[in-house]
Amino acid sequence: MAGMSVGEVAGRLGVSASTVRMWGRRYGLTASERSTGGHRRFSEEDFSRLLRMQQLVTAGADPAAAAASALPPGAAAGPGHGRGGPGGAVLAVPGADQRVRGLARAAGRLQEGVVTAAVLESLAEHGVLPTWNDLVLPVLVAAGEHWHATGTGIEIEHLLTQAVITAFTSFATIEAETVQVSSVVLAGGPGEDHVLTLHALRAALSERGVAARFLGPRTPMKALSGTVRLTRAPAVFVWATLPARLDAADLAALRVARRGLTVAVGGPGWETVDTAQATWCRSLEEAVAVLEASCRRTSHTA
């Protein structure tokens, strides 16, 4: 078969021929063959790559990242958009499937765009819970173990974090709202920089139509109680990876800051704290269920 012309490919994708040419020039996604007259001829495989690029861009990926993900392994992207050379740190993910190994490889090579595109693609295809639990989590653990074992690679944790945040944030629907509309409040506890779980939680809640306010890392106790009071939040969720700097009295104080408030906590940092005044969530699924239930209770009593 002779392959497709630029015009035919453009027609099937619903874009202009100049866009297809530009993707070839700029990102290396071009025809693998030429006709005897020297014109580009696209195979079905070439077309599938362009289609994949288009889907990733539509899902929110930046075009260079989408192209890097669409190109076959080892292929050079267009000028200025290399996939990153070989080498980089090896993050061990024993027994993991191909997708997880690919993500770990991209993270080890500091290929931010590739990581973002892969996470976005998984979000679009599988949703938040499988993307977090089965794809992102094993690579985060591998990055942490690499740092722990070698004392190097903190840049991998930073880049991975950034790429995952970009993907989850662009996936979550962030509601435009007034203070009257009840949203749950998500925060990293005092001194806590680990907040990736909260990005996953916000995206999972938004998938279920539950709005959330995100206070981010290192939120002081005073800010937490002030926010739940002002916004009339039905629930607050506080994450701690490092030993939590809030104690039982702080959790009790949060509960009285707003009548009926659900106080939920998550993360290994709570292990040394008396959490009887709160609901301790052990997984993303559990946190989603607790926060969703708090919104249902509020809407029934409103």
Q: List residues binding ligand B12 (CB under 6 A).
A: 137, 140-141, 143-145, 147-148, 154, 157-158, 161, 191-197, 200-201, 241-242, 266-268, 281, 283-284, 287
Question: Whole-angstrom Cα distance, residue 29 to residue 46?
Answer: 7
To ligand B12, the closest distance from the beta carbon of 187 in angstroms equals 12
Paired with 264 in beta bridges are 237, 279
Residue ranges in the chain assigned as alpha helix (H): 6-13, 17-27, 44-58, 63-70, 98-108, 112-126, 128-130, 137-150, 154-171, 196-207, 221-231, 248-257, 284-301
**For ligand B12, which residue has the nearest CB?**
144
Given the complex with ligand B12, which of 10 and 290 has the nearer CB atom? 290
In Å, how far are 173, 176, 287 from 265, measured between CA atoms? 23, 26, 8
Q: Degrees (nearest 5) of the Cα angle 84, 85, 89?
A: 90
User: Rounded to an integer, what distance in angstroms lies between the CA atom of residue 95 and that of residue 238?
Assistant: 32
| In the complex, minimum distance from the CB of residue 92 to ligand B12, in angstroms, rounded to a whole number | 13
- Decide whether 60 or 217 has the Cβ nearer to ligand B12: 217
Q: Considering the complex, what minimum distance in angstroms separates the CB of residue 212 from ligand B12?
A: 12
CA torsion through residues 174, 162, 62, 69, sign = negative
Q: How far is the CB of 171 from ligand B12 (least distance, A)?
A: 16
| Minimum distance from residue 172 beta carbon to ligand B12 (Å) | 14
- Cα(66)–Cα(58) distance, rounded to whole angstroms? 10
Residue placing its CB nearer to ligand B12 in the complex, 33 or 285: 285
Distance, in Å, from the CA atom of 68 to the CA atom of 55, rounded to the nearest integer, reads 13
Nearest to ligand B12 of 175, 193 (CB atom): 193
Residue nearer to ligand B12 on the CB measure, 40 or 101: 101
The Cα–Cα gap between 175 and 40 comes to 46
Cβ distance to ligand B12 smaller for residue 137 or 253: 137
d(CA 12, CA 48): 11
Q: Rounded to an integer, what distance in angstroms lies between the CA atom of residue 291 and that of residue 293? A: 5
Residue 128 Cβ, how far from ligand B12 at the closest point, in Å?
A: 11
CB of residue 145 to ligand B12, shortest distance in Å: 5
| Maximal CA-CA distance, the chain | 80
